[in-house]
């Protein structure tokens, strides 16, 4: 396996780990998004990641207003809770799904960059 193939494999592996833990969390309880039941998917975690993240956000959004407060994030999205002030760029006391996704994408990108910067030293 070439160095580039190893780097790509590590990147894909990091994404799968990041999203599989979210997928596993969703398997423990059904989630309803705005009054609609969601059926379970048999797709691999990496291919259902966007819906999995949407479900995680919806699960934390206890009053189903499309926003998550720091208090709502506390028991459901621990990294979001700890980074809430960074994510809530508008300082409104709540975040949208788009802000949540932007933050999540930045975290995954940083993880990938860290892995790729290690080169063959992993």
Kindly indicate the confidence band of residue 11, based on its pLDDT and cuts at 50, 70 and 90: low
Q: Mutual orientation of helices 97-117 and 49-60 as an angle, nearest 10°?
A: 130
Q: Which of 55, 66, 113 is nearest to 94 (CA)?
A: 66
Which of the residue ranges 18-27, 39-48, 99-108 has the most confident prediction, judged by mean pLDDT?
99-108
Domains (range + CATH), the chain? 3-30+46-117 (1.10.238.10)
Mean pLDDT of 108-114: 89
Report pLDDT digits (tens) over 43-55.
554 455 577 889 9
Q: How many helices (H) and strands (E) does the chain have?
A: 6, 4
């Amino acid at each position: 396996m070439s160095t580039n193939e190893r780097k790509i494999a590590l990147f894909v592996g990091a994404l799968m780990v990041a999203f599989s833990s979210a997928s596993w969390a969703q398997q423990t309880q059904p989630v309803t998004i705005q009054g609609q039941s969601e059926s379970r998917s048999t797709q691999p975690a990496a291919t259902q990641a966007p819906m999995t993240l949407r479900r995680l956000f919806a699960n934390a959004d206890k009053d189903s207003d499309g926003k998550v407060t720091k208090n709502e994030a506390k028991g459901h999205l621990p990294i979001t809770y700890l980074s809430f002030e960074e994510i809530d760029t508008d300082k409104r006391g709540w975040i949208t799904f788009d802000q949540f996704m932007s933050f999540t994408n930045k975290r995954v990108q940083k993880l990938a960059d860290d892995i790729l910067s290690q080169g063959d030293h992993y």
